[in-house]
Every structure is written in structure tokens, then in C-alpha cells.
Structure 1
Amino acid sequence: MKKPADPRKLFYTRADLEADGFDPLRDLGFPGEFPYTRGIQPTMYRGRLWTMRQYAGMGDAEESNRRYKFLLANGTAGLSVAFDLPTQIGYDSDDPMSLGEVGKVGVAIDSLEDMERLFDGIRLDTISTSMTINATASILLALYVAVAKRTGAEVRKLSGTVQNDILKEYIARGTYIYPIRDAMRIVTDMFGWANAEAPEWNTISISGYHMREAGSTAAQEVAFTLADGMAYVQAALDAGLEVDRFAPRLSFFFNAHNDFFEEVAKFRCARRVWAHIMRERFGATNPRSLMLRFHTQTAGSTLTAQQPENNIVRTAVQALAAVMGGTQSLHTNGYDEALALPTEEAARIALRTQQIIAMESGVAQTVDPFAGSYYVESLTNGIEREVRGYLERIDAMGGMRRAIEKGWVQQEIQSAAYEYQQAVDSGEAVVVGVNRFSRENEPGIPIQRIDEQLERRQVERLRALRARRDATRWAEAVSRVKEHARSGANLMPAILEAVESYATVGEIAGAMREVFGEYRESVVI
């Protein structure tokens, strides 16, 4: 994004780094060593390529299962599940609030039966699965664990991530349910449970992606994401967890936007700042606690409905920035996603984009090839100064939770988004095919369409499940969720028992609603 207050220079020299007080040994070090500016592994992609993880979910479980098998057959290395809006905010498919939204922006999951159909024929102990779910993350993780247990997979060996980043929902997305304090308690309950029961599972993906999609700058994306991370670490410490027990499983999720060099610098800066925060602020000593591991998705907000084929090029540039910045996993968007969920053809091209970068471009042959570049190191240092300035302001407000409740973070992002849109509207920021090089009479392209009968079928399945499940077992399990919510006991065992009794996502979320209530957003003017 454009940063008018900090214009780029025509060219950079050693003097620019000297002015920053840049010390290569202190600020760069070596790959796999503190402060991890150059990457978290000594060999990076020479040892192992990033995980090619294509985000997908549409309609019902069967339709999504077919797409997952298609992606696996075409070389994807990990699954990434998109859930529909009712599932994200804890409503069942037959709830009046769900009308017209079932299966529209992701897969509809109401019960353990749906989850079993979603992963039918896929060995959960042989793949890594990421689930983009937040307010109901505890329920979806329990459903995944229940499916794994039924298929004979060892829960302690399950590999994957549940997004579970509720703070950014209050900032940028809005799929929250509970008041912030109670939502944070659910997050730390998951930390504690997984540490003992599923130690290979990443219990949170602290996400800047959605803040960037909402219009933040690169520096804001890093600053607000790390501030959220600090809030989660402090909450876990307050809950009695040991930093070096849970911190190695923290992971992050960033956006790969259009400004290639700025994005590379952003990723390098984020690793360095987080390493210092964890060591100096939280006293972590385990090297894995200091490593910022992150997934990247190319920027959906940059995709255009006009001349959609141009999005293939945008996605390739963004994906390359993520790789040059040292991402651990990557999703590349389909070129048609400004119009609909991606078709199989668009998903294949998106995956092939990653494969070509990995296997034909040569960029995976050396670690951090931009290290020492006057330009890239100056950009990295400049973003770090902005990030630290934001973190100081957030600390002065009393921390990220307080900054969110005041609406300050939201306002900062809204202001950045407004400035950028003004630049687009004036033509100062060029969007090829939109405000320059546009054409009349755009030809149409095939798009993915969701069967309009899907919602009816999903509701019928859900009602049939309710009719045949053991009502006594179900009622007792849902009651235990309420008891754990009230008593402060860890919620995960009760939620797992509830999903195994065929309690639905809406029923479990509703039980916690009865105890915690719902969050009401502050109005930002």
C-alpha cells in the first residue's frame, strides 16, 4: 500500500544502513538462529519446501470432500478448510439466522456426522489440516479429534492448525460470539488441553491477513498481529501455563500483498521483532518459542472482477514475495475469486503457480537471497520502526484488548483503507484493468455455483440426526458444557464429550452463549 509519509528513495547505499545503526551479526545473524530475520530453519527450502495448502470449502461436506481429493491428487501437501458463515458464528443450518447462508462461503458443518463425511477417505494421520475457524474453534477442533479417534488415528500425532484468533474478529472480520474476556478464556483452555492431549497441533494462527484485507498498511498488519500475539501469551501466562510449554505451538498468518519488496521486508521484520518480544518481554528460553512460524495467503482484496485473468499474475507475484520472505506454508488464490468460490480449473492454476515457483524458478536454492540488500534491509528497518511505534502506543493504552475495546485499532485500519481508496479513485494508485487499461464488454468466465437445494438437504440431515441420537446422553453432555463454562474448568473435555454425543455446533455454542452472553461492538465514528 502507498505510504505517503515515508516515500521510497531513488536508490539505497551503505549509508542508509549505517544511518539505521544496522549491525549484520546482531540484526541478521544466520538462518535458523536468533533473531531469525533470515528464516527459522538453517536450510529453509533446501531442506524442505513450504507446505502448499490450498484453502477450500463449499456447499456440504460431500462437495468439499471431492474438492479436497482433487487438490490432493494434484499435489497439494495440506488441507485448509473454509467454513460457512453459520458454522463460524455458532448457528446450525436450520436456525433462522442461517437462512440463505448455508454452504455459501465455505462448508456447512453441524455435527460429527458432517465432519466424518468431510474427511471420508482421507487419512488424518498422514496430512496436515488447517481450519479457518475462530469463535467456534474449540468445537471444530473437538469434531476433528473425534473423527481422528474413530478412524484409528493417534490424536497425539495429529498435525495442523486451528485459526482460533478471536481478537482479530473484533478488529476486522466480525465473526465473534462471546465477550472478549470469555473468548480469551476459551482460547487458553485450548492451549492447555492441546499441550497435554495433542502436542503436535498448532492451537492458534495469529492472523494479520484479515486486517490487511480490511485495509491496513504492511506495518499495521505486523504491529497489530504481534500485539494480538502478546495478548494471547499474557492470557496464557495468567491462566498458569508455562511460556516454553505453549509458545512453540503458536503460529501466525499473514497476507502477501502487491508491493513485492515491502512484503519481503515485512515478513523478515515480523520474525525479528517477535523473537525479541518473546525473549525480552516474556522470558522465553526455548528457541522454538522465539520462532515466528507463519502461513501466508495471497491478497484476496487485490483480485479484480474486471479482466480476472490478470489475477493469475498478481497471485504469482504475491506468492513469490511470500516465498522470498520465508513462509512455512502458502495458499494461492484462484483467479476467479472476485466473482465466486474458485472452480477446479482456477484452483489447479493457483496450485501450479506454487509448484512452478518451487520447482522451476530456482528461488528455493538459497536462504534469504535478499539479505544485505541496501534496499531490502532499509525497508525491513523502516517497517520495524513503525511496528515498534505502534506497539508502544498500544502498551500506553493498556494493551491490545483495551485498544480494541476503545475502537482505536479499528479506526487506524479504517483510516489507512480510506487513504488507499482515495489513491485508487484518483488514479494515483494504479489497478490494471480497473482504473487503467480497462475495456468495455468484458467477456464472462465460468464460475463455481452452489446448488440451491443444498440448504434443504443439509437441514433434513440435521433434523434426522436429532431424531435418532441418544437424547439422554446428548442432554447430559450439553449440560456439562454449561457447568464447565460456569465453574472455570477447562472447556475442551466437555466440548469433546458433547460432539461425540452428536450435540451440534449450534447447541454447544448456544450452551456457552447462555453462560457468557454475547459481545456488542463499540461504535467507531
Structure 2
Amino acid sequence: MFDKAILEEVRKLKESYDASVEKSLPKRPERRENFTTGGGIPLKRLYTPTDIEGVNYNEDLGVPGSFPYTRGVQETQYRGRFWTMRQYAGFATAEDSNRRYRMLLDQGTMGLSVAFDLPTQIGYDSDHHMAAGEVGKVGVAIDSMADMEILFDGIPLDKVSTSMTINAPSSVLLAMYIGVAEKQGVAMDQLSGTIQNDILKEYIARGTYIFPPKPSMRLITNIFDFCSKNVPKWNTISISGYHIREAGSTAVQEVAFTLADGIAYVEAAIKAGLDPNVFGKRLSFFFNAHNDFIEEIAKFRAARRLWARILKERFGVTDPKALPLRFHTQTGGCTLTAQQPENNIARVTVQALAAVLGGTQSLHTNSMDEALALPTEKSVRIALKTQQIIAHESGVCNTIDPMAGSYAIESLTNEIEAQAMDYISKIDEMGGMMTAIEKGYVQKQIQDAAYDYQLSIENNDRVVVGVNKFTVEEEAGSLQLLKVDESVGTNQARKLKELREKRDNIAVTNALSSIREVAKDETANLMPSILDAVRCYTTEGEICGVLREEFGEYKENIVL
């Protein structure tokens, strides 16, 4: 991008600068010997055009909305419309969560994001013994379509985009959502939103799996196929790096392992006879926004460029609408501190700004109290207002990719892409992501990175304000927290009992028998039979129970 003669002049100027700095260091020493990003990438004291002299603007950067999408997936980015401000919420009962959703919509949220409780995430009804003590605690309890009807009562599903953080039982919850829409008079081809539906990261980092990998991948590709024909506006998977980062990975590992998961899903879908030019348009991603501002911006740009190149060069995708990496971002939950929780507002602001400057399509900002409990209504409002202030007051949305051309940003973008590609190549050599997971390679890499990160805090090499530096004495109970009452579990069990007494149980028995028969045929799509089952108020636990019997359950391979 630069004239060779100019680069040579810059190189000489930089050499002179370095010599001058080295001479003055004894009198004015730097704060520490080694400066690195949060992920451990060494940082130079000063970046100049010589650090990006190999960059070809047309091939490596281009313009927004065009390959390789480094500068964004939309031609006009936020000058056209802001990102979707999608606050992740759900707790206790469907009634409680519905009230929270209405408040968020009234306050300017552009899309809903449903947090389900742990029993729902792993396919158990609220009255199952495995659900004891967990009902409604980390999300909303959804046992049947009756709960889903209450959850979205008064919310028109043809006008709201909904994201559902659900994985192993994604097909069941998506079917319930479609069923509720039908009751509202909304056809499934009018629905827009996303299901996470990313089982590989559950095996790697999160742990809410049910079935072994093979039938799990079948369920995922069944959803791809069903939605491409019937729910064309729906994003059928949100390939998640967020939980990989929350488990302790570096920024590079987050990009590498997320895209390696994406490669595995594309390969599985192609094997099932699907066209990546078609289903590729409905793939979406989900990333973390951590504390290192510069690294995070570069991470998002590198991920976009790398994924477009993988689809084009590895899978031969030709449709330009299937190439862009579209992603949702959530600020870093693992960065939030229980000490001085108000400090988390500043952390979240920095992280959200990095996501916006990195070109996210959708954003959730964590609340200041989430290291202690589910967020209160007040803290959720502050989190949402943080996004609105960035959008409307900061000015960063008035030009597209304003960080482009920064020598440090472009150099780091190249470095993250190269290091991520090294990981992907190692995974390919092992035989792909499933083999790498089975061998424990990915888990071990994350564990080691998490250990190093924690050690850096404990050794005071990394400052966490309010934790290992700038601490204060705090009064216990000074912050008002949201608490979920134990009666939620009792009430859900009562509602389930009443549901089972009132519904057509012959229809339920027939629906479960149909699911069992379809599950035995590996070439059949399970979505239509699951949809029929939820329409007659078969519960999630009943459907997953049949699939557990047919598919078995996954047992984790412990890696130390």
C-alpha cells in the first residue's frame, strides 16, 4: 500500500526513534519489560507502515459489504441502521420473563434474547428429580408450548426478532416457538431470529449436552434443512466462540476453535446433501467482547476475513450472500467482578465499544451485578442505555470501520488471522474438530490458557481493578440483587400436572411414537414430528426422553 522509497524512509526514521528510546530508558524506564495483548500476543512499542507493507488493500481489506468483508458485511454499516440491541434475559417463570421482555421493548430493545433455565437446557421437565433446586434459577423454565405461549404473550412474533440460547434441545424449543407463532396467526416463513444450536462448543466448554455427537449433528442438519424450506428468515445456528472465551481461551483460540466448529458444521451439512450456497446464508456466529480494546477490534476483523476465505477457497462457495460472517456479540461475563460491581459498567462500555468498532450485527451488554446474581431491572436498563449512548452520542457510528488503516489494528488483524489458521491446520491434521474434541486437544488448549490467565492475576502481572489493586472495604449486602424464590419449582410442577390432565394424551402418545420411529431412520428429518408433538402439548422432557432412549447420552471425556 506504500511506495518503497517512502517505506525505506519510514524504516530509517523508526530505527532512529528506537535508538533514541533505548538511550533514554535508563532515565525514563517503561512500566514493564513485556507488553502483550490480553491473549499474549507481543506488542511493539510503535507501529508504522512497515508493519503492514505486505497488505494488499483490495485483496485483504476491500470495501464494506464485499469480499473478504474485513471492513464489515454491510455496505453502509451503522449509517444504514444500528446493530440489533438484543438484551439476554429470562428468569423464574414465563410470566416473570414476559414482564421483563415488555420492559426491555418499551426501553428500546430491538430484539429479544431468551435465557433458559438449566433443566430446560438439558432436556428435563421442571418436575424431574434432576431439576430439583434449579428451576428458573439461571433462566426461564419452559416445559411445554403452554409456557412458551405465556412467555411471548402480547409480543407479535412477526415484528420481533428472537434469539434463543438453546443447544441440545434446539429442535424442540424452535418447534414450540413456531407453534406459538401459528397460534398468533403468524406463518413460520415470517419468523426471524436465531437458535444457538451449537453442540460442539458444549462438548468443548459449556457442558449442556444431551446426546452423543453423531445424533446431535443429525439434529442440527435436520434444522438446517427444515428451516431452509420452511423458515427462510431464521438463523439456524449461532456458532459460539463466546463460551469458549468464557472457559478461558485466548482471543486467537476463540477465533480458531469457533471457525473450526463452523467448518465441521458445513462439512456435516454438505454430507447430508445440503448446498452451502443456500444454508451458508443462515449461519451466524456469536463472539465474546473482552477487555483488551485493540485486540478485540482486530479479532472481529480477522474472523470475518478468515471465514470468507474458508468458505470461498475450501468449500467453493460462490454466492456472495453466503460468504459474510455475521455475528452477535456479548460483553465478557467472566471479566465482571463481584468486588466493586459498579466498575463493571466501565468494563462493559469498553467491551461494547470494541464490538461496535469491530462491526457486530447484534449486541448484548452485561449488567453490573451479574457476577453476583441474575440482573435486576435497574442494572439491565443501565446496560441497555450503554448501547444507546454509544449508538447515539459517541459518534463512532457515523463512518464505517473507523479503525481501518491503523498500523496496530491492521498488523494485529493479520497476526490473529495467521495464528488462528495455524490452529485450524493442526485440527485438520488430526482429522477435524470432532476428532480434536475426542482427543481432548481443544479442551487442553483452553485449560492451559485459563490457568495462565488466572496465574497472571494472582501474581499481580495483570491488574484487575478492585480485585488485586485499588481495593476498598465494602459493606455486605449493599447492592440490591434479584432472587428467584424456591416456589418457582413447586409452581412449575403443579402447572405440569394440570397440563397432563387436560391435554389429549392419546395424541401425545401417538406423537412420541412417531418421534421414536423417525429417530430410528437416520435419513429422516425429525423436525416435522417434533413440531406435531409440541402442538399437542407434549413436554420437552417427554420428547428428549424418547430421544435419550434412541440416541443414548454423551459421557464427557475428562482431560487433565
Q: Normalising to structure 2: TM-score of the pair?
A: 0.93
The yes-or-no answer on 1:486 pairing with 2:520 is: yes
The yes-or-no answer on 1:179 pairing with 2:212 is: yes
**Of 487, 491, 502, which aligns to 1:453?**
487
For residues 283-318 of structure 1, the C-alpha deviation after alignment (integer angstroms, 9 at most, x for no partner) is 111111110000000000000000000000000000
**What is the identity, as a one-letter code, of the residue corresponding to 1:490?**
N
Alignment map for 1:4-403 (pairs within 5 Å): 6-18=41-53, 21-403=54-436
* Alignment-derived partner of residue 465 in structure 2: 432
What is the distance in 2 between the residues matched to 1:190 and 1:159?
14
Indicate conservation of the 8 Å contact 1:411/1:524, yes or no.
Answer: yes
The yes-or-no answer on 1:506 pairing with 2:537 is: no
What is the distance in 1 between the residues matched to 2:497 and 2:104?
31
In the alignment, structure 2 segments of 5+ residues that lack a partner are 1-35
Indicate conservation of the 8 Å contact 1:307/1:442, yes or no.
Answer: no
What is the distance in 2 between the residues matched to 1:463 and 1:405?
40
What is the distance in 2 between the residues matched to 1:179 and 1:215?
24
Secondary structure of the equivalent of 2:409? Answer: helix
What is the distance in 2 between the residues matched to 1:43 and 1:245?
24
Q: Deviation at 1:354?
A: 0.1
For residues 21-80 of structure 1, the C-alpha deviation after alignment (integer angstroms, 9 at most, x for no partner) is 211111000111100000001110000100000000000100000000000000000000
What is the distance in 1 between the residues matched to 2:475 and 2:314?
54
Secondary structure of the equivalent of 1:456? Answer: helix
For residues 455-477 of structure 1, the C-alpha deviation after alignment (integer angstroms, 9 at most, x for no partner) is 11110000110111111100000
The yes-or-no answer on 1:516 pairing with 2:551 is: yes
Indicate conservation of the 8 Å contact 1:171/1:404, yes or no.
Answer: yes
Secondary structure of the equivalent of 1:168? Answer: helix
Indicate conservation of the 8 Å contact 1:306/1:442, yes or no.
Answer: no
* Alignment-derived partner of residue 469 in structure 1: 503
**What is the identity, as a one-letter code, of the residue corresponding to 2:314?**
R
Indicate conservation of the 8 Å contact 2:167/2:197, yes or no.
Answer: yes
Q: Deviation at 1:3?
A: 6.0
What is the distance in 2 between the residues matched to 1:294 and 1:222?
12
Indicate conservation of the 8 Å contact 2:436/2:442, yes or no.
Answer: yes
What is the distance in 1 between the residues matched to 2:264 and 2:39?
31
For residues 238-269 of structure 1, the C-alpha deviation after alignment (integer angstroms, 9 at most, x for no partner) is 00011111110000000000000100000000
Q: Deviation at 1:328?
A: 0.1
Secondary structure of the equivalent of 2:397? Answer: helix
Identical residues among aligned pairs (%): 63
For residues 125-175 of structure 1, the C-alpha deviation after alignment (integer angstroms, 9 at most, x for no partner) is 001000000001000000000000010012101000000000000000000
Indicate conservation of the 8 Å contact 2:116/2:139, yes or no.
Answer: yes
For residues 396-447 of structure 1, the C-alpha deviation after alignment (integer angstroms, 9 at most, x for no partner) is 0000010011111000000000000000000101100000001123452000
* Alignment-derived partner of residue 531 in structure 2: 496
Secondary structure of the equivalent of 1:364? Answer: coil
Q: Normalising to structure 1: TM-score of the pair?
A: 0.99
Q: Deviation at 1:4?
A: 7.9
Alignment: residue pair count:
523
What is the distance in 2 between the residues matched to 1:405 and 1:185?
18
**What is the identity, as a one-letter code, of the residue corresponding to 1:286?**
D
What is the distance in 2 between the residues matched to 1:411 and 1:479?
41
Indicate conservation of the 8 Å contact 2:369/2:375, yes or no.
Answer: yes
Secondary structure of the equivalent of 1:106? Answer: coil
Secondary structure of the equivalent of 1:422? Answer: helix
In the alignment, structure 1 segments of 5+ residues that lack a partner are none
RMSD: 0.9
What is the distance in 2 between the residues matched to 1:53 and 1:460?
32
What is the distance in 1 between the residues matched to 2:438 and 2:205?
13
Secondary structure of the equivalent of 1:363? Answer: coil
What is the distance in 1 between the residues matched to 2:99 and 2:117?
17
CA 1:130–1:409: 2 relative to 1, 3 Å: same
Indicate conservation of the 8 Å contact 2:133/2:486, yes or no.
Answer: no
CA 1:10–1:442: 2 relative to 1, 3 Å: farther
Indicate conservation of the 8 Å contact 2:119/2:141, yes or no.
Answer: yes
Indicate conservation of the 8 Å contact 2:289/2:352, yes or no.
Answer: yes
**What is the identity, as a one-letter code, of the residue corresponding to 2:506?**
T
Secondary structure of the equivalent of 2:506? Answer: helix
What is the distance in 2 between the residues matched to 1:48 and 1:166?
32
Q: Deviation at 1:2?
A: 5.0
What is the distance in 2 between the residues matched to 1:281 and 1:425?
43
What is the distance in 2 between the residues matched to 1:308 and 1:231?
39
**What is the identity, as a one-letter code, of the residue corresponding to 2:474?**
N
Q: Deviation at 1:451?
A: 2.0
